[in-house]
A and B are shown apart, each in its own frame.
Chain A
Amino acid sequence: MSTTPQDTLHSDKDTESLSGATVRLAGDSGDGMQLVGSQLTNTSALAGNDVATFPDFPAEIRAPRGTRAGVSGFQLQFSSEDIFTPGDELDALVVMNPAAFVTNIGDLQDRGVLIANEDSFADKDLKLANLDRNPLESDDLKKYNLIKVPITSLTRTAVSEVKNAEGNTLGTKEADRCKNFFALGIICWLYGRNLEPTIRFLNDKFGKKRPDVAEANTLALKAGWNYGETAELFERNYQVQPAHLTPGTYTNVMGNQALAWGLVTAANLSNKELFYGSYPITPASPVLEELSNFKNYGVKTFQAEDEIAAICSAIGAAFGGSMALTGSSGPGIALKGEAMGLAMILELPMLILNVQRGGPSTGLPTKTEQSDLLQAMFGRNGESPLPVIAARSPSDCFDVAQEAWRISSRFMIPVIILSDGYIANGAEPWKIPDVAQLEKISISHPGPIEEGETFLPYSRNEDLARPWALPGTDTLMHRLGGLEKEDLTGNVSYDPDNHQHMTNIRQEKVDRIAHVIDPVEVSGPASGDLLVLSWGGTYGACITACRRAREDGMSVAHAHLRWLAPFPANLEEVLKQYKRVLIPELNMGQLSLLIRAKYLIDATQLNKVKGKPFKVSEILRRIREEIDLLK
């Protein structure tokens, strides 16, 4: 036995083996698609598959019911192979209403399975979605494997016997709330997924307070499964074998959760209390919410009155000796700019997290984008370089948090962490590390000095880091401030040469980090026709596209940047090994600008700002075009 996946339920129909599938559940934002989506994710991960998810929901909490604006979708790819993206085209699509149908059908591949809740395709539903004909009756759907299921009425029947504490049966509204689990039941049957993890979830969540709700959803789930098995609509179902993941214990993590865990771990490894100053904003709020649970881990969270206060409180905590952190999304980071400059000139260690979303201004709060890179690089007054690190996937956030703090505390410099909405809300399996095996982060603070000695708060070690002297330490009393400081003493100085010198030093500090971070790694040929260079959340789509291109015989390599400032020391050398360099980004060309400016190479760019991640096919198509140009 290679792995120990949970057994799938037994089905009497023909079962076909697949390497993987991409499934999307789409419905009204009140239909609970995110909930069943994450259940399917969990179940698939427990079955030993590699999984990647893409939840996509509207900014409004309750957009008008049944409208296109209110559609919420959850996409998931599960596979017996290593996967890096939630998939491009859908193998199966569940639509709970006409609005979900129109906004999602374009992504279903020919001969894909389309499961529609036919109960919600009445005239009034069609009208809400701005449709004048029932699309399920259209001939256009012949190319799909359309399965119309009266999900609403079947769900009502399935839960009709359930009684609440007062002995009454569920009302229609409550009964209808179970239909997402009926839909999940069908998908579970179709892909041989075990129902047990979901039933356990329902019992854990509702079993104590609302046993009737747990029971009703369980019945709906099972009814969905049975429907797949007994209705003569499906010819067969499928099975996806476990993936060959590295041995170990796994759990599923979402990006923001992994980030929060990574931060607590970093604090633990460095023997520090974690202080998080933040102000709620999508999609960064879950980090605040998650960290505020960890009071018994020595984590202090402070929900400040605004983003400025949030970062300022973090700087105060850093001065006091905490592992300090502030986090927001683009609009909040814009507010923090002045204080980030202060943190930089104070040369205190701290982390500044930006979970990016679509901009500018309020932009697209719930959609993903990578358009704050230049803000991270330059969004402050004066010469104020800061190191910037970007996470590439949900589980990578765990490592990025630690690496950022390692560098920040070693070099006494604030570090910016970039994540994005796609990473933050996406989930993937994560091999749980043994905390005892993780490398410690050693931090020291100077102790009192002898009589006759003077304390120099802006003296430096070989990393150009100044001493992190903490209030409370006798004889080290010193004053920090945002005015330019004199070398060594840190006293206010307006001396022209000193300002030049200090400016140079602050840049040099960032530059030297290049010597301690990992060199950029290349997957694929070490030299050749095309290098695809990526950063952040586009990692999965880029690496997958490059692999496919190589399978098709193209000479294409992939390099992914973890640090955007400084660039890894070997980057220039790597870039020069290829005839062309392609930089795909979910912005209008921000990394391209930096690469072109710094290395004077004619990089070409692939840009998209549609609030959605890249599809592998989009990148692959562009790779082909680039390769063709070389012929």
Chain B
Amino acid sequence: MSTDLPVLTAADFSSDQDIRWCPGCGDYSILAQMKKMLPNLGVPREKIVFVSGIGCSSRFPYYMNTYGMHSIHGRAPAFATGLKLARPDLQVWVITGDGDALSIGGNHLMHVIRRNVNLNIVLFNNRIYGLTKGQYSPTSPAGKRTKSTPYGSIDNPLNPLSLAVGCEATFVARSIDTYIKHLGATLERAAEHQGTSFVEVYQNCNVFNDGAWSYATDRNIKADHLLELEHGKPMIFGKNRDKGIRLNGMEPEVVELGKGVQEDDLLFHDEKATEPTLAYLLSRMRMDDGFPEPIGVLRSVEHPTYDDGVIAQMDEVTVQKGQGDLNALFRAGDTWEVEAQNT
């Protein structure tokens, strides 16, 4: 018997609201890929909720014809956790920016990940505060000149994927706004994962930080700067696919294939490795240090989810103690009777 679920299209996921992002903003592309991907999941629209914080990226829920909540700055993971606990039947997405997730919301991000709540986080990383018009963010590179760092930023930037791995995220991935096929596939994998899925998306803010990711998006050079991860495959990259990543002791190094280096000498990707060591090593590879930056799924492992644990414990206690009875509860301590007076 075939299910009679209506087949949805990307257009079915568009709300009636005008989109207010700047023309050319990378957010459009992420929105488009999300709408295109969701029908693949077969989840009805009314079962999907997008929760966001504050920022340009966080306007996202308004544009989706699903349930949604545009909350307050940095706190989306907390709303989403409460929602998911109350309603484990819903598919919950958290949409956040680099400032929203990593600055004001750093605490919540850390805790939602370590709890492994079954939801999906998409971090739109444009390395700038877009909505407040161009101050530097926790992912802006050191030395970055912005409105609030006219002489260059002194802060060390934060690496979102290292942070996620450090919190023992069970699913960690990265994609790029303009690499639409890859983005769609990555979001789909995130949706399918049980537990917290953390996806960083390189997103261009063409107004306040244009070209921040050009090394990873420019057609002519990106192949040399990106390492597309595939589970079980050797780590090969480069326009001519002639470079690879090899382990030298504990350190990765870039090597040229041929000239005595075989594919088998390279590091093979294992997204299911129980220890997060490999994922961490990958997350640390930066273009500035001469490495290609990995995209795709760094880590995807199975681990019990928080929401399942909460429900299971409630069920277990209910089996042990029986369904709660208020009348019995109120009488569980010492009680005494006061009888009616005759006088």
Contacts and interface: CB of A to CB of B under 8 A. Distances in A.
Contacts of B79: 312-313, 315-316, 319
Contacts of A342: 71-72
16 contacts: A2-B339, A46-B336, A248-B337, A251-B333, A275-B85, A295-B314, A300-B86, A302-B85, A304-B81, A305-B111, A309-B107, A313-B78, A319-B69, A320-B83, A471-B46, A482-B71
B300 interface: no
B83 A317 contact: yes
Contact of B47 (A4, A471, A482): A471
A480 B61 CA distance: 9
Contacts of A431: 338
Interface stretch (A214-222, A260-268, A592-600): A260-268
Contact of A264 (B68, B69, B326, B339): B326
Contacts of A297: 323-324, 326, 329
B70 A483 contact: yes
B342 interface: yes
B71 to A, nearest CB: 6
Interface string A296-328: 111010101110111011111101111010000
A300 B87 contact: no
Given A302-B85, A476-B46, A316 B78 contact: yes
Contacts of B334: 42, 45-46, 197, 251-252
Nearest to B84: A316
Contacts of B318: 295-296
A249 interface: yes
B81 A313 contact: yes
B65 interface: yes
Contacts of B86: 273, 275, 300, 316-317, 320-322, 324
B338 A247 contact: yes
A48 interface: yes
Contact of B336 (A5, A346, A476): A5
A4 B336 contact: yes
A473 B46 contact: yes
A479 B326 contact: no
Interface string B120-131: 000000000000
Which 8 pairs of residues, A with B, have the shortest CB-CB distance?
A313-B82, A316-B82, A481-B70, A297-B324, A320-B86, A312-B78, A316-B83, A479-B68
Interface in B61-75: 61-62, 64-72, 75
Given A300-B86, A300-B314, A479-B70, A294 B335 contact: no
B80 interface: yes
Interface of B: 15, 17, 44-47, 49-51, 54, 61-62, 64-72, 75, 77-87, 89-90, 107-108, 110-111, 310, 313-314, 317-318, 320-324, 326-327, 329-331, 333-343
Nearest to B83: A316
A46 to B, nearest CB: 5
Contact of A339 (B62, B72, B342): B72
Contact of B340 (A247, A261, A305): A247
A237 to B, nearest CB: 22
B323 A304 contact: no
B107 A305 contact: yes
Nearest to B89: A472
Contacts of B81: 302, 304, 309, 313, 316
A480 B87 contact: no
A625 interface: no
Given A309-B75, A314-B82, A435-B326, 17 more contacts: A2-B339, A2-B341, A261-B326, A277-B82, A295-B318, A297-B326, A300-B86, A313-B81, A317-B82, A319-B69, A324-B82, A346-B69, A471-B90, A472-B87, A472-B90, A478-B67, A479-B62
Interface string A214-258: 000000000000000000000000000010111111111000000
A342 B81 CA distance: 17
Contact of B78 (A248, A309, A322, A435): A309
Given A305-B111, A476-B46, A471 B67 contact: yes
Tell me which of B71, B79, B82, B84 has the highest count of chain A C-beta atoms within 10 A of its own C-beta: B82
A492 interface: yes
A3 interface: yes
A9 interface: no
Contacts of B324: 264, 294, 296-298
Contacts of B89: 472
A319 B86 CA distance: 9
A249 B337 contact: yes
B184 to A, nearest CB: 22
Specify which of B66, B71, B84, B338 lies most central, judged by the most chain A CB atoms within 10 Å of its CB. Answer: B338
B337 to A, nearest CB: 6
B75 A479 contact: no
A314 B45 CA distance: 23
A482 B85 contact: no
Contact of A475 (B46, B47, B107, B111): B46
B12 to A, nearest CB: 11
Nearest to A480: B69
Contacts of A475: 46
A150 B90 CA distance: 66
Given A305-B107, A316-B79, A321-B87, A251 B331 contact: yes
B338 A481 contact: no
A317 B337 contact: no
A205 B61 CA distance: 53
Nearest to A297: B324
A474 B48 CA distance: 11
A339 B323 contact: no
Interface string A179-221: 0000000000000000001000000000000000000000000
Contact of A295 (B66, B82, B313): B313
Contact of A3 (B17, B87, B90, B339): B339
Contacts of B67: 319, 471, 477-479
A433 B331 CA distance: 10
Interface in A434-455: 434-435
A6 B335 CA distance: 12
Contacts of A481: 61-62, 68-71
Contacts of A245: 338
B62 A477 contact: no
A472 B88 CA distance: 11
A320 B90 contact: yes
Contacts of A304: 78, 81, 111
